[in-house]
């Protein structure tokens, strides 16, 4: 496509959502996984550009940044603190715990209470925080009861180290179990135009007013081929397919909180501009067909 949407980007255009009844954020956030090195491992190739991306995100209205101790590992959290501390009062930094990184591109569940406690303590130190606004259990560890995993976060919450709890990569039964143990304010699952396996989880979150954070939100696959609804809509509204995919997510549910990530200021601006892409009801239906 030769042109892309060039409206003045503002995350505010996507509307807002209140996490846990007290943390109001713009619905289009920023995922800080890509500000690390290749394979989400080690330092980024251009650390200064990663810092510029974070600062630009705030300048453009982003109020929700999602990261994890496993991104780097530790690198993403360190760069966030370097770039943005002291943080604006309206900025919510959500991080995650529960995965170990044996090497580049490798992820292993570890949701033992002792590991989760150490991970949270580490995140507090790296992010220079006294309390984490939103701590998400990064996965479901099959090696131990889920109640122990969620319960460890509840204990840390009672100690004042976590403000709100979220879960990630859960099915509907696991989400309901987590809610019996804690007040769950967000769910972070894979969800995009080509992968809607978590449709039942999203519908539940919409009914219960739980924030739904879709990871891998820009996947479009063959949908970008000439003549497809995505291709036709993108041309008509003068946007990129990725911008239309993000606009569709925002239109899909009022609890949807996309967090597209990038290590490029240019791509960041394109992503945020998606909040202003106009989609009609017919557009949304065509994309969902």
pLDDT attached to residue 12: 59
Number of Cβ within a 10 Å radius of residue 229? 17
Contacts of residue 2, Cβ cutoff 8 Å, sequence gap at least 6? none
In a domain, 63, yes or no: yes
In a domain, 250, yes or no: yes
Six token digits for residue 123 = 């995140």
Q: For the whole model, what pTM was predicted?
A: 0.94
In a domain, 5, yes or no: no
Q: Is residue 204 annotated as a catalytic residue, yes or no?
A: no
pLDDT in tens, the chain (289 residues): 333 433 344 565 579 999 999 999 999 999 999 999 999 999 999 999 999 999 999 999 999 999 999 999 999 999 999 999 999 999 999 999 999 999 998 999 999 999 999 999 999 999 999 999 999 999 999 999 999 999 999 999 999 999 999 999 999 999 999 999 999 999 999 999 999 999 999 999 999 999 999 999 887 777 788 888 999 999 999 999 999 999 999 999 999 999 999 999 999 999 999 999 999 999 999 998 8
pLDDT attached to residue 17: 98
Q: With contact defined as beta carbons under 8 Å apart, do 144 and 174 qualify? A: no
First to last CA, the chain: 23
Domain of residue 222, CATH code: 3.20.20.100
How many distinct structural domains can be found in the chain?
Answer: 1
Indicate which residue of 71, 87, 146, 204 is catalytic. 71
**How far is it, in rounded angstroms, from Cα 103 to Cα 72?**
10
Domain span at residue 170? 11-288
In a domain, 4, yes or no: no
In a domain, 21, yes or no: yes
In this predicted model, what pLDDT tens digit does every residue of 209-268 receive, in sequence order?
A: 999 999 998 877 777 888 889 999 999 999 999 999 999 999 999 999 999 999 999 999
Positions of E strands within 40-160: 64-66, 92-97, 99-100, 108-109, 132-137
**How far is it, in rounded angstroms, from Cα 94 to Cα 68?**
8
In a domain, 161, yes or no: yes
Contacts of residue 281, Cβ cutoff 8 Å, sequence gap at least 6? none
In a domain, 6, yes or no: no
Six token digits for residue 135 = 């701590």
In a domain, 64, yes or no: yes
């Amino acid at each position: 496509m030769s042109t892309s949407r060039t409206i003045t980007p503002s995350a505010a255009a996507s509307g807002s959502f209140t996490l846990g009844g007290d943390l109001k954020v713009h619905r289009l956030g920023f995922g800080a996984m890509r500000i690390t090195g290749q394979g989400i491992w080690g330092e980024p190739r251009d650390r200064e550009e990663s810092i510029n991306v974070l600062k630009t995100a705030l300048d453009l209205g982003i109020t929700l940044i999602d990261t994890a101790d496993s991104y780097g590992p530790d690198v993403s959290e360190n760069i966030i603190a370097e770039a943005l501390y002291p943080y604006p009062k309206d900025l919510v930094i959500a991080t995650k715990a529960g995965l170990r990184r044996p090497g580049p591109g490798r992820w292993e569940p570890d949701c033992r209470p002792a590991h989760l406690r150490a991970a949270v303590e580490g995140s507090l130190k790296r992010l220079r925080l006294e309390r984490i606004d939103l701590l998400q259990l990064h996965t479901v560890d099959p090696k131990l009861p889920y109640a122990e995993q969620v319960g460890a976060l509840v204990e840390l919450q009672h100690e004042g180290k976590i403000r709100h709890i979220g879960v990630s990569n859960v099915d509907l039964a696991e989400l309901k179990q987590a809610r019996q143990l804690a007040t769950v304010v967000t769910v972070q699952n894979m969800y995009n135009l080509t992968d809607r396996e978590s449709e039942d989880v999203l519908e539940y979150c919409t009914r219960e007013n739980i924030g739904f954070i879709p990871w891998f939100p820009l996947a479009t696959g063959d949908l970008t081929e000439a003549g497809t609804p995505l291709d036709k809509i993108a041309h008509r509204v003068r946007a990129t397919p990725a911008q239309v995919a993000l606009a569709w997510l925002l239109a899909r549910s009022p609890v949807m909180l996309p967090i597209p990530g990038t290590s490029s200021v240019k791509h960041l601006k394109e992503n945020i501009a998606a909040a202003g892409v106009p989609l009609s009801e017919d557009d949304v239906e065509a994309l969902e067909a």
